[in-house]
Structure 1
Amino acid sequence: MGLDWLIEFLKGTLKLFLHPVFYFSFFVAAVLGVSRVKRERKNFSIRAENAYFELRQLLPVGMIVGVGISILTFGLGLAVPFATIFFIAALTLLLSLTTKLRLLSPVFTVGLAFFLTIFAGKEKWNVPFFQNSFAELDEKIYPSIAVLLTLLLIGEGLLIILNGKKGTSPKLMKSKRGLQVGVHEVKRLWLVPVFLFVPGTALQPPFEWWPVINIGAESYSILLVPFAVGFHQQIQGMLPKESVQTTGKRVVGLGILLALLSIGCYWYPILSIAVVALTIIGREVLSLRQRVVDENLPFYFSKRNNGLMILGILPESPASKMALQVGEMITKVNGTAIHDEKGFYEALQRNRAHCKLEVLDVHGEVRFVQRALYEGDHHELGILFVEEENKWGTEAI
């Protein structure tokens, strides 16, 4: 029996490569990387992370979260009809056309698929090749979808906490007063593969070879479903890591609260509708709250009179090796007080073999960092500042 289950799991895993969302997610991540690099080059004449950064973030953490959700779905005995999986894939592809990455959050793809599943069951929809998957829908499946949605919401929050803060992208923009200021932006797509039980024989008519497991009087297929999880946040009034971490913790908290509420769905299936609706509304409220609060804060990355605020650090640059951090302020270079970029680079050029900086950290404490400079090092240390206009006719970093 154990060997049979192992074989079915392996077969179900291989079917991941038949799912269009799997390939589409790589395409979207690649587009995100290219568009980010173009914007950063426009702002700074150089990119921060390379164009493959978003692709590298797509799967590793998502796979870990997916394993956790898979264990819970199997442990709770969640069975999700193929009709819902079909709708989730279709909505993922359609919502991506809006170019609004936040709409690829599970609260929209799975939440809207839940309501489409209810409608399809009542209207007895007939889809070619998958007639059985739409003919066997009833209210018994509502709680499983609601619980899966809350687990994916918790997973989204964990992804934001673990990975969203990594590699936030610096960006220049104009304030309402016309001044050039800096912000940070996170545009991230994660792929979360989750093993699901699909009830009935919905997959057998088009795929006769699909694995089926009999548990009691019920038949189930095992399917590894890739869920795309999109996230977009712009930060102007806080340190980017702190803002993203706060958002992630709030999403996890909302997910846990709704997961506890979803327990009652097994006794009152109609409660599933309320849980799914609250999930969508709650996630939107969190996004709106973050935007409103952040927009009412003064710009964190703006021109200061007592030094230069660090907007970004290039990876593997001298600044990165000196452990300089985004949000810190450089007040002196090689013993010379600085107030603008011109003064910074002039002080830097006075000693091309060594660099000593006096830095005001994010807690307001003074620290000193220094490093020998070598041939081949980035000529401007690899620091991104809120630029002044045209930077005196020289190339921006």
Structure 2
Amino acid sequence: MEVAAQLAHKALAALLQLAAQPFYYIGILFVLLQYRRQIVLERQLFSTRLHSMLDTAWKTVLWGIAAGMAASLAMAFVGATVPFGVVIWLWVLSALLAVVRIRFVCLAYAVGLLGVLQAIVRAVPSLTELEPVGRAIAPLEQMPVSSMIALVGLLHLLESFFVYKQGADMAMPVFVEGKRGKAIGGYQLQQFWPVPLLLLVPTGGGAAGAALPWTPLLGGDIWSAGWTFAALPVMLGFADLTTTLLPAAKAKRSASRLAAYSIAVLALAALVEWRPGFALAASAAVVVLHEALAFWSKREETSLPPYYVHGEQGLKILGVLPDSPAKEMGLLPGEIIHKANGVRIRTKEQLHEALSANGAFCKLEVINTDGHSKFVQRALFAGEHHLLGVLLAPDEKAMYVLEQRNVHWFTAARRRKQTVPAGGESGRTVSS
């Protein structure tokens, strides 16, 4: 009972510490800004909003809180500790790395870099004698590398669950330039989760009330000198691009690879705890393996044929607008519009003509993602034949593609270098 009271008291103190820290609120603000950035881009490209910023943001924040509590419980038994001075380093490095590439906000890069910096500090001890450099790098000298790497592994295990469940929720259809210079369709997937952690850490200041009823896996005898909770807000993020798979399928594939990565990282943490001399190699491996995931995904995308292109069967649907006739009829991304009002469809112009021929009714024959035909129909009101609500894959007349900056991240529409016949559509708004 005494231990439970101690745990509750110190957990409450850590929660108050978290509430007083700016880092968690900065993380939430970062999430809001990134989602707002995407929605602004959606309006520029499609003249409508495909996602709700606030709806998605509060869900990711709540998921982050729930996951943070679960991860805190797991790490209390693992013994992953992060001194406060290292927390500052983590946030500063993550912010600087995110400026270079948004996916570098992932904790793996900051932790790997801190492990390398620790090796440099220990190899050049004179650095600690320089002021104010000495005070700034002092936390790195005694940083528990095995605990830091274990933290990366556990957080990526959480991230793999998040990506599996929510990775496709904010998927945005995009036009990109294919290997042969042709415009092809695809999806940008991106999600962020601010996660508040309460880490059980040793105090090193003598006995602190009742002893823990368990011994954490990492740390050894340091837990006999007292313990407390420390608040550590972290940011989990996922960004990817697919032109070869449906968003949900891409998210599930990425989730399975992230889970494998987390298991490998946890094994590296155990190795460093057993053999501290491998700390530098393990820190570098955390970054290298993470980069290998990105390289693997990119290579897979370039080696497979594009999925969102038109073919002989008809027009490939890239996306469906919310609250549109197409949404009500149950049309889905990846399906093919084969016939409209009994007319075989091969071009966007043919689709418009077929819908205009009967402005009061729409009947479509659609080939679903399993290759089977289905028939959908709906009465159309005045003008709706121009606003069916499907985003079609680009064709040879598409004049704009999204410019890719920082791998898997798009920021602006770029005009394609080609001649388009007068009256040809721009490709900026691709709803039909």
Question: TM-score, length-normalised on structure 2?
Answer: 0.78
The C-alpha deviation readout for 1:273-317, integer Å capped at 9, x for no partner, is 433322211111111011012023232212323211111112333
Measure, in 2, the Cα distance between the counterparts of 1:362 and 1:148: 40
Summarize the Cα distance change of 1:112–1:350 in structure 2 as closer, same or farther, 3 Å threshold: same
Unmatched tracts of structure 2, length 5 or more: 212-222, 400-422
In the TM superposition, what are the counterparts of 1:221-240 in structure 2 within 5 Å?
221-240=228-247
Unmatched tracts of structure 1, length 5 or more: 203-211
Shift of 1:53: 5.8
In the TM superposition, what are the counterparts of 1:27-42 in structure 2 within 5 Å?
27-42=29-44
- The answer as to 2:154 corresponding to 1:147 is no
Instruction: Tell me what 2:312 maps to.
Output: 305
Correspondent of 1:315 among 322, 330, 338: 322
The C-alpha deviation readout for 1:218-273, integer Å capped at 9, x for no partner, is 23331231111222211122223222221221110121133234334333233344
Aligned 8 A contact 2:203 2:227 in 1? yes
- The answer as to 2:166 corresponding to 1:159 is no
Shift of 1:29: 2.2
Instruction: Tell me what 1:347 maps to.
Output: 354
Instruction: Tell me what 1:208 maps to.
Output: none
Moved more, 305-314 or 213-222: 213-222
Give, as a single letter, the amino acid of the residue that structure 1 aligns with 2:390.
I
Give, as a single letter, the amino acid of the residue that structure 2 aligns with 1:241.
A
Aligned 8 A contact 1:81 1:137 in 2? no
- The answer as to 2:183 corresponding to 1:180 is yes
Shift of 1:120: 5.5
Measure, in 2, the Cα distance between the counterparts of 1:133 and 1:389: 53
In the TM superposition, what are the counterparts of 1:21-170 in structure 2 within 5 Å?
21-52=23-54, 55-56=57-58, 58-98=60-100, 100-117=101-118, 123-124=127-128, 134=138, 138=142, 141-170=144-173
Moved more, 328-337 or 169-178: 169-178
Aligned 8 A contact 2:318 2:392 in 1? yes
Moved more, 317-326 or 80-89: 317-326
Correspondent of 1:277 among 271, 277, 284: 284
Summarize the Cα distance change of 1:133–1:220 in structure 2 as closer, same or farther, 3 Å threshold: farther
- The answer as to 2:298 corresponding to 1:291 is yes
Aligned 8 A contact 1:199 1:218 in 2? yes
Correspondent of 2:14 among 9, 12, 15: 12
Measure, in 1, the Cα distance between the counterparts of 2:66 and 2:279: 27
Give, as a single letter, the amino acid of the residue that structure 1 aligns with 2:79.
G
Moved more, 119-128 or 345-354: 119-128
Measure, in 2, the Cα distance between the counterparts of 1:197 and 1:179: 54
The C-alpha deviation readout for 1:90-135, integer Å capped at 9, x for no partner, is 112222222x22101121123223444555675548999x979946
Summarize the Cα distance change of 1:83–1:335 in structure 2 as closer, same or farther, 3 Å threshold: same
Classify the secondary structure of the residue corresponding to 2:187: strand
Summarize the Cα distance change of 1:343–1:201 in structure 2 as closer, same or farther, 3 Å threshold: farther
Instruction: Tell me what 2:406 maps to.
Output: none
Summarize the Cα distance change of 1:133–1:178 in structure 2 as closer, same or farther, 3 Å threshold: closer
Instruction: Tell me what 2:402 maps to.
Output: none
The C-alpha deviation readout for 1:3-47, integer Å capped at 9, x for no partner, is 342122122112223333322223322332233233333332333
Instruction: Tell me what 1:209 maps to.
Output: none
The C-alpha deviation readout for 1:53-110, integer Å capped at 9, x for no partner, is 6534532332333233211101223322222212111112222222x22101121123
Moved more, 348-357 or 254-263: 348-357
Shift of 1:378: 9.2
**How much is the aligned-residue C-alpha RMSD, in angstroms?**
3.2
Aligned 8 A contact 1:132 1:201 in 2? no
Measure, in 1, the Cα distance between the counterparts of 2:274 and 2:94: 31
Measure, in 2, the Cα distance between the counterparts of 1:290 and 1:142: 28
- The answer as to 2:225 corresponding to 1:218 is yes
Give, as a single letter, the amino acid of the residue that structure 2 aligns with 1:138.
Q
Moved more, 148-157 or 39-48: 39-48
Measure, in 2, the Cα distance between the counterparts of 1:138 and 1:393: 62
Classify the secondary structure of the residue corresponding to 1:46: coil
The C-alpha deviation readout for 1:174-218, integer Å capped at 9, x for no partner, is 33544332121113222122211243379xxxxxxxxx8774642
Summarize the Cα distance change of 1:131–1:256 in structure 2 as closer, same or farther, 3 Å threshold: same
Identity %: 26
